Amino acid sequence: MAVDRDTTLAWMTSFAASMEEHREELVQLDTAIGDGDHGTNMNRGMQKAVAQLAAAEQADTGAVLKTVAMALISTVGGAAGPLYGTLFLQLGTVLAGLQEVDLPSYAAAWRRALEGVQARGKAQAQDKTMVDALIPAVAALEAATDLEDGIRAAAEAAHQGALATTPLVARKGRASYLGERSAGHQDPGATSTYYLFKSAAETFAH
Ligand SMILES: [Mg+2]
């Protein structure tokens, strides 16, 4: 399915439903190594984003993503609001003005999103953050030769990346205060990032 304004709206609606469905799971993951608010925050932010998307018509794919970014930045506290806000803002900036998005544009947008998240959060690979799901997902998109195959591969790579955070000792964010005790728990931010790519696969590549 094409990546355009309408399917991007559907992707964001799907991600909002996913954050509602997985709210308690994300709360439990964040309770283990953080302050327990990740599921509640992401659910609240995405419900607000969906409401704002419904309130006005967006001109193109980029405008949809920027609307989501502003909703998250204004609604979600802690680290997740600014980091996901940056992610969607960078995606929306690269895709601004495009009516239909091709694979090179989509992969470039995700590369910019990853760079933006890393610039804001200062996280590297293996720090036990959302970056550990983003890095392999972006690499999968960049290695793809077909948009739908690439989105499916990105979702699988993000899933593996999120699962691989479990044994890691956190080096960024609140979980890093726990030191060695952060090992043995899957990172909530990497998990919600996996759900973002899972929603993309279910929307664009089913
Ligand atoms: Mg938290």
Percent pLDDT > 70 in the chain is: 100
Distance 46 CA to ligand 1 centre (A): 16
Asked if pLDDT for residue 63 goes beyond 90, the answer is yes
Distance 205 CA to ligand 1 centre (A): 31
Q: Which of 189, 201, 182 is nearest to 76 (CA)?
A: 189
Distance 100 CA to ligand 1 centre (A): 35
pLDDT band at residue 77 under the 50/70/90 scheme:
confident
Distance 71 CA to ligand 1 centre (A): 18
Distance 141 CA to ligand 1 centre (A): 29
Distance 34 CA to ligand 1 centre (A): 5
Distance 30 CA to ligand 1 centre (A): 6
Distance 41 CA to ligand 1 centre (A): 8
CB contact at 8 A, 128 and 169: yes
Please, what's the b/e burial string for 32-65 (b: 16 or more CB within 10 A of its CB; e: otherwise)? bbbebbbbbbbbbbbbbbbebbeeeebebbbbbb
Distance 38 CA to ligand 1 centre (A): 5
Distance 174 CA to ligand 1 centre (A): 7
Distance 175 CA to ligand 1 centre (A): 9
Distance 10 CA to ligand 1 centre (A): 27
pLDDT band at residue 39 under the 50/70/90 scheme:
very high
The CATH number of domain 3-204 is 3.30.2010.10:
no
Q: Between 133 and 99, where is the model more confident?
A: 133
Q: For the chain, where are the E strands, in sequence order?
A: 3-4, 100-101
Task: Give residue 123's pLDDT.
Answer: 96
Mean predicted confidence (pLDDT) in 12-33: 97
Phi then psi for 121, rounded to 5 degrees?
-95, -10
pLDDT band at residue 99 under the 50/70/90 scheme:
confident
Segment 114-165, tens digit of pLDDT: 999 999 999 999 999 999 999 999 999 999 999 999 999 999 999 999 999 9
Domain ranges of the chain: 3-204
Asked if pLDDT for residue 74 goes beyond 90, the answer is yes
CB contact at 8 A, 159 and 150: no
Mean predicted confidence (pLDDT) in 22-33: 97
Distance 26 CA to ligand 1 centre (A): 9
The dihedral sign for the CA sequence 156, 3, 96, 144? positive
Task: Give residue 149's pLDDT.
Answer: 97
Asked if pLDDT for residue 78 goes beyond 90, the answer is no
